[in-house]
A and B are shown apart, each in its own frame.
Chain A
Amino acid sequence: MGTRQKLPETRSDSQATYLPDRHMFALWTWADGAVGPAPPVGDVQTVPLVIPTPDLGRLKVSDVDCVLIEPDRLVAVPLDSPGRSVDVWRSWIAGGESALPIAAHAVPDAAGVAVTTPEHASGAFRRTTAVGAEMRTALTAKLRPYQVRGVSWLRETIETHSGAVLADEMGLGKTLQTIGCVAGRAEKGPQLVLCPTSLVGNWAHEIARFAPDLRATIWRGGPLPTVDSGTVVLTGYPTLRTHSPALAGIQWSTAVFDEAQVLKNPRTQVSKAARTIAADARIALTGTPVENHLDELWALLNLVAPHLFGNRAQFRHRFVRPIAGGSPAASARLRGAIEPVVLMRKKSQVAGSLPPKIHADLICDLTEEQERLYDRLLEQVIDDGFGSGAQRQTKVLAVLTSLKQVCNHPGLITDDLGELSGRSGKLDLCTDIVANNLENDSPTLVFTQYRQTGELLVRHFAEQFGVITPFFHGGLNQEQRADIVRRFQSDDGPKVLVLSLKAGGTGLTLTRAADVIHFDRWWNPAVEAQASDRVHRIGQTRTVTVTTLTTVEEHIAAMHNRKSALSDTADISSVAELTRLDDNPLIEILRRKRVN
């Protein structure tokens, strides 16, 4: 074979393989008929790639040590004797279109019998680069490469299958990617976002923040506002259930189903209502590992792309039963079958373009019970006044505390602590996140400032998941504290740990967890940051995800206070700041801001 002389003989050549799902390049080396050490330009990661056998007779799938870099960096990154694949991709970045060698697109399919075609690799690269340029003006946020790919993937998939499931791991920015896609479809007609009620406010907030040109309208029933192009209607699943005819009467250009695992049972009313929505494109978002819940996956696929998959019985027969029986071939077959319409990426896969710490600030809505209680407490305060002098500060603090407790859970004020679920937006959301992490085997820390809230969380987790959650608080002695930390750090330790912010916020090392939830906000962000650093310390190898749960009410009050907290280090001074205000402006700050 004449082509053999062209192969590199003894040198070590650098290669670049484009990973379409992540919009990144895997850099690796080839020397003497084998994979060499990854180029010394970043953290090494193993990626399955198709490579030749040592005698170059065949191709096979193998785990290759790679360094992943973003497209922007490929041109300038110093590489020893760059191979053809590197040259070609560099020319593509510069706008050229030369033919790709196999090494440049050597990403295997799920079953390990096929490779991404050069047309797909170069097409995905070109489209994603174009979308990246577009997003820089369309959104006010800078997207990470894998997020840009998420937007371009959503577009491609909607175009070919008119439906898509984005199943990225929590914290990777599914909302932002969806907003990117929605912003690009604004001219095609009205769009609809369905999500759990407690997240409606968060969607409104994020759309206003990232795509201010879109008109987001929250709808809670009643007559639908006039909808036209550029409008995004936000509503909760309960509203969908009770008002589905109003929504079904409109031809939406896009329907987004956030936390779509709530539609897992196709026979429920809400699922039936979801299927009646007429939309040119349907996007389902879920952060739960869909591969572990195959019936749930079928429901999602049936929602977004009913024409692609057979009926439920066949899906069960073909995938669910053999996978439950432990067949690896069936899992590969499933991944191959859903690959056209499901995109799922894990934090570990895109770690190279993630900061060491991801912040996810979720804004939750209050439930009706919480709203009523909040208003009642505030009315009472208006009647009583805050008093004056030293007494005033105490009173302000007491009011703030009780209002914050309402936001945490209404039962903390009314002492009605029978059934806990469904009464606090925050608690429900926190439960979802913890459920998810339990499933992913990711230990979680939950911080709260209140002893009572902590106890409520411990009880709730025990009821929901049957896990025993230790509670690290100021009332424990040194020995008990050390014991909790030691147990948590051991490999088979508890999956969830609740900590009081003040007691657990400093000094501890809890690096077994990479996920932190702040159940309530502290005035001073530095205190929170310090608490988050319990997991983000030396010895932490994973990306840390910090989720804060805030209600709109707390959010506004906190924004006000955080301004002063930035200059003051003592926490109490911000309360003093509030105390210095007159009654009326103070009430105004605390009053519930009704969205819409």
Chain B
Amino acid sequence: MANRDYGYAKWGKDWVRFAELLRQTRPDPQLPSARRMARDGKVQITFDGRTVRAVVHRGRGTSVVTIEVAPMSAGATAEISRQLSGIQPLLTDDLYRATADAGHPPAPVLDSVDCSCPAATPRCVHELAVYYDMARRIDDDPRIALDVQGFFLASAGGGQAPAEATAQRWIALNSLDSAVYFTVAE
């Protein structure tokens, strides 16, 4: 089933895989409506570190999906940092392949998935819609794929400073202390 709208970049494809499991043998009737919900903007995602929180609207109801993403493995973090050294993180498919070929597939691992809906099925349509929406967002900006796995956090606090080039050019607004705006922090 070729799907050109979600997962056209390798980074986004990882999230499509959560919805369209490889071990799945029969078509999942929930998938088309999950895709439609993602496409129609029924999914509103906010990030908090490695936690993805999504408000999903369906019909008159609203569900909240919470997904915890595991931190990226140290090996993958180091490998991607090495690949990115010197340049702005423009995450191409080539970089993905190179990282995977080096033995550190950057695909995310989910620690936990939880939905507030009362559905009894193991995977509800809300959850699937969130996977698709994540794929769409990551296709547009693959940095999210790293961000949600704590890649930039690790690099900021880890001392090994992988994304050195980014740190040189820009610094995130929310990491600055506005109290020392006019003076220099001691």
Contact = CB atoms under 8 A, between A and B. Distances in A.
B58 to A, nearest CB: 24
Given A59-B176, A310-B9, A330-B140, A102 B181 contact: yes
B181 A103 contact: yes
A340 B168 contact: no
Contact of A84 (B92, B140, B176, B184): B184
Interface string B150-186: 0000000000000001011111111011111111110
A234 to B, nearest CB: 31
A517 to B, nearest CB: 39
Interface stretch (B82-90, B101-109, B112-120, B127-135): B82-90
A12 to B, nearest CB: 12
Given A56-B178, A161-B87, A120 B169 contact: yes
A3 B8 contact: no
B178 A52 contact: yes
A15 B141 contact: no
A314 B88 contact: no
A109 B168 CA distance: 13
A53, A57, A340 pick with most chain B CB within 10 angstroms: A340
Contacts of B93: 310, 314
12 contacts: A98-B184, A100-B184, A101-B184, A102-B180, A115-B176, A117-B168, A117-B170, A161-B87, A314-B9, A317-B9, A318-B141, A340-B87
B182 A83 contact: yes
A286 to B, nearest CB: 21
Given A115-B176, A308-B90, A101 B169 contact: no
Contacts of B88: 308, 339-340
A330 B136 CA distance: 13
Contacts of A314: 8-9, 93
Nearest to B179: A3
Given A113-B172, A117-B167, A117-B168, A3 B92 contact: no
Nearest to A313: B8
A130 interface: no
SS class, residues of chain A in contact with chain B = mixed
A116 B184 contact: no
B106 to A, nearest CB: 16
Given A310-B92, A340-B87, A7 B173 contact: no
B179 A1 contact: yes
Given A4-B179, A57-B178, A102-B181, 19 more contacts: A3-B177, A51-B181, A56-B178, A59-B176, A101-B181, A101-B183, A101-B184, A102-B180, A109-B170, A112-B173, A114-B170, A117-B169, A309-B90, A314-B93, A318-B139, A318-B141, A333-B140, A340-B88, A340-B90
Contacts of B90: 308-309, 337, 340
Of the four ranges (under 10, 10 to 19, 20 to 34, 35 or more), the interface on chain B belongs to 20 to 34
Interface string A428-470: 0000000000000000000000000000000000000000000
A144 B174 CA distance: 35
A339 B182 CA distance: 27
Interface string A58-97: 1110000000000000000000000111001000000000
B140 A59 contact: no
A1 B180 CA distance: 11
Interface of B: 8-9, 86-88, 90, 92-94, 139-141, 165, 167-174, 176-185
A13 interface: yes
A309 B182 contact: no
A486 to B, nearest CB: 49
A148 B107 CA distance: 44
Contacts of A88: 184
A119 interface: yes
B180 A101 contact: yes
A414 interface: no
A3 B93 CA distance: 46
Please provide the 8 A-B residue pairs with the shortest distance between their CB atoms, ordered closest to farther: A114-B170, A3-B179, A340-B88, A99-B184, A102-B181, A52-B178, A117-B171, A310-B92
B183 A6 contact: yes
B101 to A, nearest CB: 17
Nearest to B91: A310
A585 to B, nearest CB: 60
A393 to B, nearest CB: 66
B87 A308 contact: yes
Nearest to A51: B181
A306 to B, nearest CB: 10
Nearest to B9: A314
